[in-house]
Amino acid sequence: MYPDWIDIGLVRDVPFRGSRVVTTGKGDIAVFKAHDGQIFALWDRCPHKGGPLSQGIVIGHSVTCPLHNWVVALDTGEVKGPDKGCARKVALLIEDGRIYMAAAALQWNAA
Ligand code: FES
């Protein structure tokens, strides 16, 4: 139906203030749902030392990495505060309660 988009599941299956991991051949993608229901996706690797962002704490539209507490903006992947870096963002399409990720994301190397 959408050749450029890959169905990765239902919005309702992602917990509020939490995440769900989508495994791909290029690595894991963390799909987050903020308190207000907005959905975001980042490769599940912290730009600091590769910590699993999917296991971080979601506050507002940010996630705090569980390893060393860097704070990453969910909408851009940019690290906030004095730290520098950027997690790779994955473009999403939300339609009829389903989440689709951009197929082009899999052409990049997440490592
Ligand atoms: S690996 Fe995420 S803050 Fe260090």
What structural domains and CATH numbers belong to the chain? 5-105 (2.102.10.10)
User: Residue 6 has which token pair?
Assistant: 């890959």
* pLDDT bucket at 110, cuts 50 / 70 / 90: very low
Out of 63, 68, 78, mutate this one to test ligand 1's pocket (max ligand atoms within 8 Å of CB): namely: 68
Mean pLDDT score, 52-69 = 98
- Supply the pLDDT for residue 1: 57
Reported for 22-26, long-range contacts at CB under 8 A and 24+ positions apart, including other chains, are 22/101, 24/106, 25/106, 26/105, 26/106, 26/108, 26/109, 26/110
46 alpha carbon to ligand 1 midpoint, in Å? Answer: 6
Q: Taking the model in full, what pTM does it have?
A: 0.93
CA distances to 17, 69, 82 from 79, in Å: 18, 11, 8
Residues with CB under 6 A from ligand 1: 46, 48-51, 65, 67-68, 70
